[in-house]
Structure 1
Amino acid sequence: MDTGTWPRVAARRELDAAGVRPQLRPAYQRCRMLNAAHGRTYFLATRLLAPQQRPSVHALYGFARWVDDIVDDTDRRRTVADRQQALDRLDGELRAGLRAGSSDDPILAALIDTVTRHGIDPALFTDFMASMRMDLTVRAYPTRAALDAYIHGSAAVIGLQLLPVLGTVGPAGEAEPYAAALGGAFQLTNFLRDVGEDLDRGRVYLPMEELAVFGVDRDRLAWCRESGRPDRPVRRALADQVARTRSKYRAAEPGIALLAPWSRPCVRTAFTLYGEILDRIVESGYDVFRRRLAVSGPRRLEVAAGALGSVVAARLRRHV
Structure 2
Amino acid sequence: MSGCATGIALYDGTARDAAAVVVSRYSTSFGLACRLLGARVRPHVRNLYALVRVADEIVDGPAAAAGLSPEAIRDLLDALETETRVAVARGFSANLVVHAFAATARECGIAAQHLDPFFGSMRDDLTVRRHDQASHDAYVYGSAEVVGLMCLQIFVNAGRDAPTAPPAGLVDGARRLGAAFQDVNFLRDADHDLQALGRDYLGGDQRDAVLDRIERDLDAAATAIPRLPADCRRAVTAAHDLFAELAMRLRLAPPGSGRVRVPDARKALIVARAALGRPPRRRHAGAVA
TM-score (norm 1): 0.77
| Counterpart pick for 1:110 among 84, 94, 100 | 100
Deviations 1:55-93 (A, max 9, x none): 111100100010011001253532221111101111111
How far does residue 251 in structure 1 lie from its aligned partner after superposition? Answer: 2.4
| 2:175 maps to 1:180 | yes
| 2:227 maps to 1:258 | yes
In the alignment, what sits opposite 2:246? 277
| Counterpart pick for 1:165 among 146, 154, 163 | 154
Give me the whole-angstrom Cα distance separating, in 2, the residues matched to 1:258 and 1:306.
18
In the alignment, what sits opposite 1:59? 47
Unaligned runs of 5+ in 1: 1-19, 211-236, 312-320
- Residues 167 and 263 in structure 1, CA contact (< 8 A), matched pair in contact too: no
Give me the whole-angstrom Cα distance separating, in 1, the residues matched to 2:107 and 2:84.
16
In the alignment, what sits opposite 1:310? 277
| Counterpart pick for 1:204 among 193, 196, 200 | 200
- Would the alpha carbon gap of residues 310 and 245 (structure 1) be closer, same or farther in structure 2, given more than 3 Å must change? closer
Give me the whole-angstrom Cα distance separating, in 2, the residues matched to 1:307 and 1:88.
39
How far does residue 178 in structure 1 lie from its aligned partner after superposition? Answer: 1.3
RMSD: 1.9
| 2:80 maps to 1:80 | no
- After TM superposition, the structure 1 = structure 2 runs for residues 90-109 of structure 1, keeping only pairs within 5 Å, are 90-109=80-99
Between Structure 1 and Structure 2, whose CA radius of gyration is higher? 1
Deviations 1:126-146 (A, max 9, x none): 21000100000001112x222
Task: State percent identity of aligned pairs.
Answer: 31
- Would the alpha carbon gap of residues 121 and 66 (structure 1) be closer, same or farther in structure 2, given more than 3 Å must change? same
| 2:129 maps to 1:134 | no
Given residue 202 of structure 1, which amino acid in structure 2 is its aligned partner?
A: G
How far does residue 33 in structure 1 lie from its aligned partner after superposition? Answer: 0.9
Unaligned runs of 5+ in 2: 1-7, 158-163, 279-289
- Residues 238 and 286 in structure 1, CA contact (< 8 A), matched pair in contact too: no
TM-score (norm 2): 0.85
Given residue 207 of structure 2, which amino acid in structure 1 is its aligned partner?
A: L
- Residues 27 and 107 in structure 1, CA contact (< 8 A), matched pair in contact too: yes
In the alignment, what sits opposite 1:315? none
Given residue 84 of structure 1, which amino acid in structure 2 is its aligned partner?
A: R
Give me the whole-angstrom Cα distance separating, in 1, the residues matched to 2:112 and 2:92.
14
| Counterpart pick for 2:236 among 238, 262, 267 | 267
Deviations 1:195-246 (A, max 9, x none): 01101210011133x4xxxxxxxxxxxxxxxxxxxxxxxxxx3223212221
In the alignment, what sits opposite 1:42? 30
Give me the whole-angstrom Cα distance separating, in 2, the residues matched to 1:56 and 1:176.
18
Given residue 176 of structure 1, which amino acid in structure 2 is its aligned partner?
A: V
Give me the whole-angstrom Cα distance separating, in 1, the residues matched to 2:96 and 2:172.
31
Given residue 229 of structure 2, which amino acid in structure 1 is its aligned partner?
A: A
Segments of 4+ in structure 1 off by > 6 A? none
In the alignment, what sits opposite 1:3? none
| Counterpart pick for 1:152 among 131, 141, 161 | 141
Give me the whole-angstrom Cα distance separating, in 1, the residues matched to 2:42 and 2:245.
24
SS in 2 for 1:263: helix
- Would the alpha carbon gap of residues 296 and 259 (structure 1) be closer, same or farther in structure 2, given more than 3 Å must change? same
Given residue 270 of structure 1, which amino acid in structure 2 is its aligned partner?
A: A
- After TM superposition, the structure 1 = structure 2 runs for residues 170-249 of structure 1, keeping only pairs within 5 Å, are 172-174=166-168, 175-200=170-195, 201-208=197-204, 210=205, 237-249=206-218
Give me the whole-angstrom Cα distance separating, in 1, the residues matched to 2:137 and 2:112.
21
How far does residue 171 in structure 1 lie from its aligned partner after superposition? Answer: 6.3
How far does residue 122 in structure 1 lie from its aligned partner after superposition? Answer: 3.3
